[in-house]
Amino acid sequence: MTVRVMLISPAPGPALRAARFDDDAPLDEAAVRRAGEAAGALPRGARAFSAPSRRCLQTAAALGLDPAAEPALRDLEAGCWRGRSLEEVAAGEPEAVAAWLADPGAAPHGGETLLTLIARVGAWLEDRVSGDGGRVLAVADPAVIRAAAVHALGLPPQVFWRLDVPPLTLTELSGRAGRWNLRCGRPLTASGPPLD
């Protein structure tokens, strides 16, 4: 059975704007308002999920969704880098950052590797196909959306960092029996009809 998985990146919160590793900080008022403005653009009739982070749950609420929190959609675990900016970590640990960006199996921060993230998100995607099909809508962090695209298209993990996922965009995967198609980065705007 064909399934359509629509992944929405969350509104830009303080951590994203500061290029800081996730510290589960809440969204500010401007981000919540921006997500609320996009509420009318969502496709109808989809089962809703959200990553368990506050920014994803707040984005989902502002979009008018009542999602099930899905642990498999949690962001990349950054270990001891959590809450620190990439600039700060690169200044203090340049070799570790270089290794992390070059090797998808590296986890110098003591957290999760990109390979582990891709496998986790890939398993969640494949579970959607083995279900009853239909539409699935999920608010997930950019790293999770990148991991989904890498898994679905069978891309080499080294391309992970080359995929850009802007805030409040929709990335759509449709597939069945392990074959996926990708539609990238449609902005959510309230000015047009709902996405279908």
- Report the distance separating Cα 4 and Cα 6, nearest Å: 6
Whether residue 192 has pLDDT greater than 60 = no
pLDDT tens sequence across 63-107: 999 999 999 999 999 999 999 999 999 999 999 999 999 999 999
Q: What is the pLDDT of residue 134?
A: 87
- DSSP, collapsed to helix, strand or coil, labels residue 136 as strand
Query: At which residue do the structure tokens 């498999």 appear?
Result: 72
- Report the distance separating Cα 95 and Cα 108, nearest Å: 9
Neighbours of 17 (CB within 10 A): 11
In three-state form (DSSP H/G/I as H, E/B as E, the rest C), the secondary structure along 51-109 is CCCHHHHHHHHHCCCCCEECHHHCCCCCHHHCCCEHHHHHHHCHHHHHHHHHCCCCCCC
pLDDT tens sequence across 97-132: 999 999 999 999 999 999 999 999 999 999 988 776
Cα 55–Cα 61–Cα 64 angle in degrees, nearest 5: 145
For residues 165-184, average pLDDT = 88
Domains parsed from the chain with CATH numbers: 3-187 (3.40.50.1240)
Note the pTM of the prediction, 2 decimals.
Answer: 0.92
Structure tokens at 104: 């998808």
Structure tokens at 71: 């642990």
